[in-house]
Amino acid sequence: MPRLISSITFIMAVCVTMQAIAQEGESDLKTGVYVYKTIGDKKLKMHVDFPPGWQKTDTRPVIIFFHGGSWNGGSVRAFATQAKYFASRGLVCTRVEYRLKSKDGVTPDKCVEDARSAVRWVRAHAAKLGIDPQKLITAGGSAGGHLAACAIIPESVETDGADLSISTIPQAMVLFNPVLSFMHGGLASRVNGDQEIAAKISPLSHVKPDTAPSIVMFGTNDRLKAFGDLWWSKANELGFRADKYTAEGGKHGFFNQSPWLERTMIAADEFLASLGYLQGEPTMKDPTGEKLEALKAEQERKTAASKRGQKRKN
């Protein structure tokens, strides 16, 4: 069992960083940083990308991104590329800081508490953000996908004093190789074996016919894809919408690199357009030919440089 948990930790850590690519229209985007929660002396911030032409009086859909990193590390930089793209498409995009084991000594249930606080803050500040609180999308990768999916749970772990009158339940989810249960794979050990808490932070244990529609994306060589298989099976059984996207040969964190970076954004774009949250065709293009080769070469160069830097540190 320790070996399995170690393997899960390793493959989830892959998605901590991503390669940023330039997007057309970024210069027109406005940004903002807000403190959504204070725990002791720690201020947790929300980074917001506003679309071109945004005004406070707008009622736009909003997407909330949670970064991955095995509930241990990671940064809001992880979804900067996706946030800028979807802001260029008209969404208000937020990226959420939350407490981490490496910095704050917390277990995953505290990460879930922060994620739920973030969703409530967004809804409570709809007028400030120019969003429609009933057009809220949660999104994330790996551990961040877990946090995004935990928003569907009506009664979960909560921060003391949380305003429970504000719902965390989203209208849609965009999930990149997410963890979807703490009742499988020995993950309950991460919350000290507490089965009650594990159940409260296991989205798979709380799906029902009216669960929010989702797109769930996995690489076929990701052992965490077992969570996706269970999710899609539950969707077929209960009748809620769960679009399936798989990348042949893709490993955990596949969506961080071209061509899957672009292809998953296109798939998410088409999913959100089908729900009426985006208009028109995706402006992201699937890289092909010389452009694809150039992107791959650049990613290989950066990966090699990162490995050399890691060796020097060791």
* Average pLDDT score over residue span 273-298: 84
In a shared domain, residues 42 and 188: yes
Task: State the number of CA atoms in the 13 A half-sphere of 118 facing the CB.
Answer: 36
Mark whether 308 and 204 lie in a shared domain: no
Strands 131-141 and 214-219 turn out to be unpaired
CATH at 92: 3.40.50.1820
Asked if 35 and 12 sit in the same domain, the reply is yes
Look at residue 23 and tell me whether its pLDDT is greater than 70: no
Query: Does the pLDDT of residue 100 top 50, yes or no?
Result: yes
Residue numbers of the domain that contains 49: 2-283
Counted domains in the chain: 2
305 lies in the same domain as 199: no
Pick left, alpha or beta for residue 276 (phi over 0 → left; psi -120 to 50 → alpha; otherwise beta).
Answer: left
**What is the spatial distance between Cα 212 and Cα 227, in angstroms, rounded to a whole number?**
17
Burial of 309 (0-12, 13-18, 19+ CB in 10 A): exposed
Query: Same domain, yes or no, for 279 and 293?
Result: no
Task: Give residue 314's pLDDT band: very low, low, confident or very high (50, 70, 90).
Answer: low
Q: What is the pLDDT of residue 299?
A: 62
Look at residue 27 in the predicted model and tell me its pLDDT.
42
pLDDT in tens, 162-187: 999 999 999 999 999 999 999 988 99
Asked whether residue 226 falls in the same domain as residue 302, the answer is no
On whether the pTM is more than 0.75, the answer is yes
